[in-house]
Amino acid sequence: GVSQLNGPLKPRYVRVNTLKMDVDSAVHELGKLYKVQKDETVPDLLVMPPGSDLHAHHLVKNGRIFLQGKGSAMVAAALEPEADWEVIDACAAPGNKTINLAALMKGQGKIIACELNEERVKRLEQTIKLSGATNIEVFHGDFLGLAPEDPSFAKVRAILLDPSCSGSGTITDRLDHLLPSHSADNKNYDSIRLHKLAVFQKKALAHALSFPQVERVVYSTCSIHQIENEDVVSSVLPLASSLGFELGTPFPQWQRRGLPVLAGSEHLLRMDPEEDKEGFFIALFTKTNKLDDLKS
């Protein structure tokens, strides 16, 4: 029922910004106020009891820790960028995953953070500033407009694609569906909206796969809908395999995988709104880099 969806049981996750602070110091500092544990799945992620209110905590204010859900933190980790890589964050604002990438890359290499919406570019820039990362270049524009053959992307090895989605895996969105105003009209509107989102998601994923030197692409949503998740992956599989990509398995020890509606669904990762207190989806595409093959 509503009380379950309302999230009193949802643990509070924070990611330690390892560009500014080490994990053990954060555990020590936060441990003065709350019971703190290291997350068992995601490095640098800490779990605190539901209701822990950290919005005004000095570690949040000065960018040493970021309030970031577990699903969100799994995305950058799934990409596993190496420190000296060039990486594109295709749909970047407000930048939680961008600065997560920066931390995983130890502040080295280069991240191109692309964002279409001008207001959201400002939020992205604020997040980056707070994180202290200096290896991020913000690009205000359409990811679909970036030309894969452009020499400025010749060294890009990985792309994180977290496009606009319905947000149906988040609590507020699921509560909306319980309101009386959620009429047949709304449902019709929802299905049109989902279809439009899926069209963009498919285009953007196909575009990400087409950058010549890219060998890892992560696609993620905070949606529970098959049309935004498995169906998007399914639609690009022929293109992906023609380019030499296969599905990788992010967090192989994780139990909940994709809906069994395509071959390889066991590689996909799902978080379940009931079991995990949030709905999330992650797909990973990998290919062996041709240049590396030639070198060896």
User: Please, is 262 exposed, middle or buried when counting C-beta atoms within 10 Å of its C-beta (0-12, 13-18, 19+)?
Assistant: middle
Q: In this chain, which of 53, 142, 266, 275 binds ligand SAM, going by CB under 6 A? A: 142
Q: In this chain, which of 7, 43, 94, 148 binds ligand SAM, going by CB under 6 A? A: 94
Residue 35 vs 193, nearer CB to ligand SAM: 193
Q: In this chain, which of 116, 138, 156, 208 binds ligand SAM, going by CB under 6 A? A: 116
Q: Is 44 annotated to bind ligand?
A: no
Q: Segment 13-42, which members bind ligand SAM (CB under 6 A)? A: none
Residue 283 sits in the site that holds ligand SAM (CB under 6 A): no
Q: What gap in Å lies between CA 206 and CA 164, rounded to an integer?
A: 15
Largest CA distance in the chain: 63
Q: Is 97 annotated to bind ligand?
A: yes
Active site residue 222: yes
Pairing of strands 280-286, 269-271: antiparallel
184: left (phi > 0), else alpha (psi -120 to 50), else beta? alpha
**Nearest residue relative to ligand SAM (C-beta):** 91
Q: What gap in Å lies between CA 70 and CA 105, rounded to an integer?
A: 19
Residue 158 sits in the site that holds ligand SAM (CB under 6 A): no
Q: Segment 43-72, which members bind ligand SAM (CB under 6 A)? A: 72
Residue 229 sits in the site that holds ligand SAM (CB under 6 A): no
Residue 121 sits in the site that holds ligand SAM (CB under 6 A): no
DSSP assignment letter at 45: E
Size of the site for ligand SAM (CB under 6 A): 19
Residue 183 sits in the site that holds ligand SAM (CB under 6 A): no
- The CB-based long-range contact list for 35-39 (8 Å cut-off, 24+ gap) reads 39/13, 39/70, 39/73
Q: In this chain, which of 93, 138, 198, 236 binds ligand SAM, going by CB under 6 A? A: 93
Pairing of strands 110-115, 86-89: parallel
The residue annotated as part of the active site, out of 42, 99, 102, 222, is 222
- Residue 239's SS3 state is helix
- Residue 115's SS3 state is strand
Q: Which segments are annotated as binding site?
A: 91-97, 115, 142, 162
Name the site residues for ligand SAM (rule: CB under 6 A). 72, 91-97, 114-117, 120, 142-144, 162-164
Q: Which segments are annotated as binding site for S-adenosyl-L-methionine?
A: 91-97, 115, 142, 162
Active site residues: 222
